[in-house]
């Protein structure tokens, strides 16, 4: 064998034929963790004489997942794009008010109310996106700034719940189709749409590219600015839907309904728990939903066990850190391999 | 000899200034179909800017770009792409976590009924890979699992997928190991044979002479000459680039009188990458380590420095057995390491020259903080960094100046042993010589230098002795001035000089 030939062998051999085995991707891990949590939770609740996974329990978990799921699915898109949205919590409150006040109890105003709320959300998302791309402000600061602006507006103009939705509109919040609440279906529908966008459309491909490496994306001819702006608009619209849904459940708009539940940081936590890289370029809707379900399951278990709420937060914090540390470990070991 | 093929691209009188500083002053360039045309010049000569003009990244201030005889004005990279011009950038432009096909068609994904047509994308990628004879790459596999050479193939396929007629390659071998360079040669040859015009930018003389049919030289943004490669000698080429001939390419080797006591001694050292490593390194000596990529030569360096420490055998420093368990321990013992990955591991790119130069001293030798500012100035002068000032961020420096900052970082702590891995990768001829001289001067002050390089002429030119590594063990030692054949013979597991 000549040297050159051998050299070629060496170079070719370097990659080897790695067989595609089943691997513990973050998405797989998060669902395995969810199953484990359900098992452990069932045992713990069972020991105390309760049942975690009866129909009521499952519905409880799903219902808890609805609003956070909507917000987190949107958050997934911006995080994959390498950005972030801290304004979603105030936006949820704002949109619940816009919807409820526009409807003002009248059946005929339901559609305009929803559309106006989503329109307001889209505008806020557009502002977020433009501040990040045109003014080149770091997303953390940009969306924090927008969050503060929204808070200022809400505090100036509202002291408590306002507006009211017609009875008919409350079907969205309380009805079920078969055993499944309409809200859960709405959330899953939005998740499916987001999944389709990220995994099947050019916009989605470009979102991963921009988050993975913005310079690479630009050099490849991707309109990076537009991709990021679209991500922010989609995220904001998802948050707007969450607001609309909450208006339906509460019967009116509530300025702090989003911040009280901490949807800003909670949604980011769910996305990261679902395996997305905070730096962008990796992650997905399926993982995020897993993250949301884990958080919701934890809450349900703790409620069933009547655990001290402070301890609850401690456990949530630990779970989040352990999950991200696990993902990081996988990356390190793969690199050194 | 006139180059065959029709003229695909002609640039005439291209000028370009940034903030009033002229970077290109009237450059002409002509590319013909099926021609490999080398573009040479020192760093800062304007090669990259010219590439970017060609690629539609920059718009020239004056001058004309013609494609297939018709004048064009590109205002975006996309327009250049559509005209059949593709650039392969020095840094890879691949997304590690996306698949080969996703990378190849990034920004131009085929769409069917509102969805990305994955199947078509992968089939088309496969077709291009086959066309290039690279059927071992799976279009659906993520890029992160590919070797560097294969990533480059993906880059090239990405460029070709735009129906490129002109392929500009900026330092395509900078990230490749020796044996991978051969594969690239082969690939360039196949591309040329298929009628693609290739603009080849490289600092490596040998590649340029091996591959190109014509060479265009730039100096300080000005056009110097275009000449058939066959009519140029490497001396003439260097003179064109530098404007003077580089006297004595490498500094003098150490004389017996300059060699001192044994500084570093390894006896039977090993870990899971290398085994039975035994050699001595004397003060004042530059010892080269040769070996193919993956042979373990870098693993030895990284073990000495404690990144992946030796687990067996002994390491003695100035006669005292030591355990180097991590880089911090190495630094405190006076062992320095210039990494092959300058941008990733060598420098904090967004920090100033000053902060980078003081990084090791501040981190590992606390208490020396009180040194005077003039120390630093003297240090930076001694390595001859060219910059606007010591507060300039290092990412704005040329590769050569960045490497000088890395060296300054180690000089600042006065090492006893300095291990340098690919010290001149991707830097221009002038800076290369400066680095060589610096390393030799350092040796003269009593430092023991261990140098890894895959550029054999450099390794042979610099080293007082050469150790050749093959499959994780030292296959042999060669004296100063050994032949390339002898080194390659040992490196590929044959005997000395047994190379076809």
Strand ranges for A123-189 from DSSP E: 176-177, 180-181
Radius of gyration of chain B (CA): 24
SS3 category, B36: strand
Residues 6 or more apart whose CB falls under 8 angstroms from that of A286 comprise A27, A195, A274
Measured in angstroms, the CA of A51 and the nearest CA of chain B are apart by 42
Sheet-wide strand order for B320-322: B277-282, B262-270, B312-317, B320-322
Q: Any bridge partners for residue B18, and if so which?
A: B21
Picking from A26, A203, A220, A223 by the largest number of B CB atoms within 10 A of its own CB, the best residue to mutate is A220
Q: Does residue B176 surpass a pLDDT of 90?
A: no
pLDDT digits (tens, 9 = 90+) for B107-146: 889 999 989 999 999 999 999 998 888 888 999 999 988 8
Q: Is B305 exposed, middle or buried (0-12, 13-18, 19+ CB in 10 A)?
A: buried
Give CA B26 to chain center in angstroms.
28
Model pLDDT, residue B367: 62
Tally of residues, chain B: 500
Which DSSP string do the residues of B260-321 spell out, in sequence order? -SEEEEEEEEE-SS---EEEEEETT-EEEEE--TTSSHHHHHHHHTTSS---EEEEEETTEE
Measured in angstroms, the CA of B471 and the nearest CA of chain A are apart by 11
Q: A23: phi > 0 → left, psi -120 to 50 → alpha, else beta; which? A: beta
B146 touches chain A (CB under 8 A): yes
**Cβ pair A2:B500 closer than 8 A:** yes
Structure tokens at B71: 């004048």
Residue A32: count other Cβ atoms within 10 Å of its Cβ. Answer: 12
**Top-confidence residue, B299 or B384:** B299
Q: Does residue B207 surpass a pLDDT of 50?
A: yes
Residues 6 or more apart whose CB falls under 8 angstroms from that of B55 comprise B74, B77, B80, B85, B87, B168
Model pLDDT, residue B374: 64
For residue A201, the chain B residues in CB contact (below 8 A) are 111, 114-116
**Cβ pair B292:A7 closer than 8 A:** yes
HEC profile for A182-240?
Answer: HHHHHHHHHHHHHHHHHHHCHHHHHHHHHHHCHHHHHHCCCCHHHHHHHHHHHHHHHHH
Measured in angstroms, the CA of B489 and the nearest CA of chain A are apart by 9
User: What gap in Å lies between CA A235 and CA A82, rounded to an integer?
Assistant: 13
Size of interface A-B (CB pairs under 8 A): 93
**Top-confidence residue, B244 or B215:** B215
Give CA B134 to chain center in angstroms.
24
Strand B197-201 relative to strand B36-40: parallel, antiparallel, unpaired? parallel
Report whether B254 contacts B293 (CB < 8 A).
no
Q: B102: phi > 0 → left, psi -120 to 50 → alpha, else beta; which? A: alpha
The 10 Å CB-count burial string (b at 16+, else e) for B488-498 is: bbbbbebebee
Q: Any bridge partners for residue B469, and if so which?
A: B474
Provide the sign of the torsion angle of the four alpha carbons A196, A200, A202, A207, taken in this order: positive
Q: Is A118 exposed, middle or buried (0-12, 13-18, 19+ CB in 10 A)?
A: buried
Domain at A2-6+64-336: CATH architecture = Orthogonal Bundle (1.10)
pTM for this model (two decimals): 0.75
Structure tokens at A76: 């997934």
Report whether A236 contacts A85 (CB < 8 A).
yes
For residue A220, the chain B residues in CB contact (below 8 A) are 93, 106-107, 158
User: What gap in Å lies between CA B46 and CA B496, rounded to an integer?
Assistant: 43
Average pLDDT, stretch B217-240?
A: 86
Most confident of A95-109, B356-370, B377-391, B450-464: A95-109
- Residue in chain B closest to A220 (alpha carbons) equals B107
SS3 category, A181: strand
Picking from B54, B104, B106 by the largest number of A CB atoms within 10 A of its own CB, the best residue to mutate is B106
Measured in angstroms, the CA of A211 and the nearest CA of chain B are apart by 10
B364 touches chain A (CB under 8 A): no
User: What gap in Å lies between CA B49 and CA B230, rounded to an integer?
Assistant: 27
**Top-confidence residue, B482 or A93:** A93
Output the CA angle A91-A277-A62, nearest 5 degrees: 55
Model pLDDT, residue B495: 66
Share of chain B above pLDDT 90, in %: 42
Phi, then psi, of A265 in degrees rounded to 5 = -75, -35
Q: Which of B111, B114, B146 sits opposite A15 (nearest CB)?
A: B146
User: What gap in Å lies between CA B200 and CA B209, rounded to an integer?
Assistant: 11
Number of H helices, E strands in chain B: 17, 22
Tally of residues, chain A: 337
Supply the DSSP symbol for B244: S
User: What gap in Å lies between CA A243 and CA A249, rounded to an integer?
Assistant: 10
- Residue in chain B closest to A204 (alpha carbons) equals B116
Rounded to the nearest integer, the mean pLDDT of chain B is: 86
Supply the DSSP symbol for B255: P
- Residue in chain B closest to A336 (alpha carbons) equals B308
**Cβ pair B116:A216 closer than 8 A:** no
User: What gap in Å lies between CA B77 and CA B84, rounded to an integer?
Assistant: 11
Report whether B33 contacts B5 (CB < 8 A).
yes
> By a Cβ cutoff of 8 Å, what residues of chain A touch chain B?
2-4, 6-8, 10-12, 14-15, 18, 200-202, 204-206, 208-209, 212-213, 215-217, 219-222, 281-282
Model pLDDT, residue A11: 39
pLDDT digits (tens, 9 = 90+) for B193-203: 888 999 999 87
Average pLDDT, stretch B206-213?
A: 89
Tens of pLDDT along chain A (337 residues)? 444 444 433 333 333 334 445 567 888 889 999 999 999 999 999 998 888 888 888 988 999 999 999 999 999 999 999 999 999 999 999 999 999 999 999 999 999 999 999 999 999 999 999 999 999 999 999 999 999 999 999 999 999 999 999 999 999 999 999 889 999 999 999 999 999 999 999 999 999 999 999 988 988 888 999 999 999 999 999 999 999 999 999 999 999 999 999 999 999 999 999 999 999 999 999 999 999 999 999 989 988 888 888 888 898 889 888 888 888 776 544 443 3
ipTM confidence score: 0.81
- Residue in chain B closest to A196 (alpha carbons) equals B115
SS3 category, A98: helix
B93 touches chain A (CB under 8 A): yes
Average pLDDT, stretch B421-449?
A: 88
Give the residue among A22, A54, A53, A47 at the shortest CA–CA distance from A35. A53
Most confident of A183-197, A290-304, B281-295, B415-429: A183-197
Lowest mean pLDDT, pick from A133-147, A232-246, B3-17, B437-451: B3-17
């Amino acid at each position: 064998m000549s040297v050159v030939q051998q050299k070629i062998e060496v170079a070719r051999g370097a990659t080897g034929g790695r067989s595609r085995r089943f691997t513990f991707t973050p998405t797989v891990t998060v669902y395995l963790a969810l199953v484990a949590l359900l098992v452990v939770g069932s045992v713990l609740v069972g020991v105390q004489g309760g049942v975690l996974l009866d129909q009521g329990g499952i519905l409880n978990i799903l219902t808890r997942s609805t609003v956070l799921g909507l917000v987190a699915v949107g958050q997934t898109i911006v995080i994959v794009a390498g950005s972030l949205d801290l304004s979603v919590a105030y936006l949820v409150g704002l949109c619940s008010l816009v919807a409820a006040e526009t409807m003002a109890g009248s059946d005929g105003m339901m559609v305009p109310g929803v559309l106006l709320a989503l329109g307001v959300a889209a505008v806020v998302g557009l502002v977020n996106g433009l501040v990040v791309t045109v003014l080149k402000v770091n997303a953390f600061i940009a969306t924090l700034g927008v969050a503060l602006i929204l808070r200022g507006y809400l505090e100036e103009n509202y002291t408590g719940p306002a507006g009211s939705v017609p009875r008919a509109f409350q079907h969205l919040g309380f009805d079920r189709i078969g055993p499944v609440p309409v809200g859960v279906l709405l959330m899953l529908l939005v998740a499916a749409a987001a999944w389709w966008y990220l995994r099947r459309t050019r916009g989605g491909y470009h979102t991963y590219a921009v988050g993975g490496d913005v310079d690479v994306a630009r050099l490849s001819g991707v309109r990076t600015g537009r991709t990021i702006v679209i991500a922010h608009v989609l995220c904001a619209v998802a948050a707007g839907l969450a607001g609309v849904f909450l208006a339906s459940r509460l019967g009116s708009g509530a300025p702090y309904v989003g911040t009280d539940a901490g949807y800003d940081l909670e949604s980011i936590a769910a996305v990261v728990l679902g395996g997305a890289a905070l730096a962008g370029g990796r992650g997905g809707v399926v993982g995020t939903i897993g993250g949301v379900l884990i958080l919701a399951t934890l809450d349900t278990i703790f409620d069933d066990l009547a655990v001290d709420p402070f301890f609850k937060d401690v456990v949530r914090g630990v779970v989040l850190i352990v999950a991200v540390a696990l993902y990081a470990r996988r990356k390190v070991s793969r690199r050194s391999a | 000899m006139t180059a065959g093929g029709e003229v695909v691209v002609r640039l005439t009188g291209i000028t370009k200034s940034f903030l009033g500083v002229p970077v290109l002053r009237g450059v002409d360039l002509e590319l013909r179909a099926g021609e490999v045309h080398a573009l040479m010049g020192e760093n800062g000569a304007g090669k990259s800017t010219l590439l970017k003009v060609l690629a539609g990244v920059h718009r020239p201030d004056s001058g004309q770009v013609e494609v297939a005889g018709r004048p064009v004005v590109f205002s975006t990279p996309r327009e250049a792409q559509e005209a059949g011009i593709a650039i392969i950038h020095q840094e890879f432009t691949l997304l590690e976590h996306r698949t080969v096909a996703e990378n190849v068609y990034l920004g131009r994904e085929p769409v069917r009924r509102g969805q990305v047509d994955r199947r078509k994308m992968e089939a088309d990628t496969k077709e291009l890979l086959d066309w290039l004879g690279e059927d071992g790459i799976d279009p659906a596999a993520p890029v992160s699992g590919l070797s560097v050479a294969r990533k480059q193939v993906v880059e090239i396929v990405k460029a070709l997928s735009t129906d490129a007629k002109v392929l500009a390659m900026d330092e395509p071998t900078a990230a490749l190991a020796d044996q991978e360079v051969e594969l690239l040669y082969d690939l360039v040859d196949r591309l040329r044979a298929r009628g693609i015009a290739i603009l080849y930018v490289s600092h490596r003389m040998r590649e340029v002479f091996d591959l190109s049919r014509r060479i265009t030289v730039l100096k300080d943004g000005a056009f110097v000459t275009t000449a058939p490669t066959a009519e140029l000698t490497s001396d003439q080429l260097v003179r064109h680039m530098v404007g003077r001939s580089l006297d004595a390419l490498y500094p003098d080797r150490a004389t017996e009188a300059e060699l001192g006591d044994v500084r570093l001694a390894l006896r039977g050292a090993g870990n899971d990458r290398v085994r039975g490593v035994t050699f001595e390194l004397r003060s004042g000596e530059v010892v080269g380590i040769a070996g193919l990529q993956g042979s373990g030569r870098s693993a030895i360096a990284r073990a000495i420095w404690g990144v992946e420490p030796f687990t067996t055998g002994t390491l003695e420093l100035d006669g005292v057995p030591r355990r180097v368990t991590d880089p911090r321990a190495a630094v405190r013992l006076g062992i320095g390491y210039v990494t092959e990955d300058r941008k990733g591991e060598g420098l904090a790119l967004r920090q100033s020259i000053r902060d980078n130069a003081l990084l090791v001293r501040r981190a590992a030798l606390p208490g020396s903080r009180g040194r005077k500012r003039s120390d630093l100035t003297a240090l930076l002068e001694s390595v001859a960094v060219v910059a606007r000032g010591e507060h300039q961020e290092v990412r704005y420096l040329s590769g050569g100046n960045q490497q000088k900052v890395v060296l300054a970082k180690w000089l600042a702590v006065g090492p006893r042993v300095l291990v340098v891995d690919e010290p001149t990768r991707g830097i221009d001829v002038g800076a290369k010589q400066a680095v060589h001289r610096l390393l030799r001067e350092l040796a003269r002050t009593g430092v023991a230098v261990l140098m890894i390089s895959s550029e054999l002429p450099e390794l042979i030119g610099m080293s007082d002795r050469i150790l050749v590594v093959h499959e994780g063990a030292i296959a042999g030692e060669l004296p100063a001035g050994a032949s390339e054949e002898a080194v390659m013979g040992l490196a590929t597991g044959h005997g000395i000089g047994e190379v076809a």
